[in-house]
């Protein structure tokens, strides 16, 4: 699985003009299931992100995790993280998991993250979503299983 993690002071996702998910201080996570990914990888990625020490401690150093801060997470499905741009100018997405598997692993990831303690809200798989966020830092990290 692939994830792009952004430390945010706020984030929200809307579908058809209605807010369907939001997070205050915490993380906005774009996640993509790749062909061949498993539920175990989805759970492992959720655990890694929950423990990722990218929040400031009292000395201003990135030394605290989402679990340490009590922050929340907004999880958005993002198949375009599978983009292959090695040939030409049009990205290919054949490395992404098929939609039915991608949706299942997206849900497993979000549920596994929530089971660790953070408040988790999500977008809508396959929907045309508008995502807004205020990146804190900015801190943006790419993770892959």
Among all residues, which ones are annotated catalytic? 78-80
Three-class SS of residue 81?
Answer: helix
C-beta separation of 23 from 74 below 8 A:
yes
**36: exposed, middle or buried (Cβ count in 10 Å: 0-12, 13-18, 19+):** exposed
Question: How many other CB atoms are found less than 10 A from the CB of residue 128?
Answer: 7
How are beta strands 120-122 and 72-77 bridged, if at all?
parallel
């Amino acid at each position: 699985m692939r994830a792009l993690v952004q430390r945010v002071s706020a984030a929200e996702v809307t579908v058809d003009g209605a807010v369907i998910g939001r997070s205050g201080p915490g993380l906005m996570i774009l996640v993509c299931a790749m062909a061949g990914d498993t539920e175990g990888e989805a759970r492992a990625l959720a655990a890694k992100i929950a423990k990722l020490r990218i929040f400031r401690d009292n000395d201003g150093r990135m030394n605290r995790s989402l679990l340490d801060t009590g922050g929340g997470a907004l999880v958005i499905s993002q198949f375009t993280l599978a983009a292959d741009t090695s040939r030409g100018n049009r990205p290919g997405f054949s490395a992404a998991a098929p939609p039915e598997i991608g949706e299942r692993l997206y849900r497993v990831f979000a549920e596994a993250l929530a089971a660790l303690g953070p408040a988790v809200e999500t977008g809508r798989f396959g929907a045309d979503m508008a995502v807004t966020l205020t990146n804190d830092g900015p801190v943006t990290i790419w993770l892959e299983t």
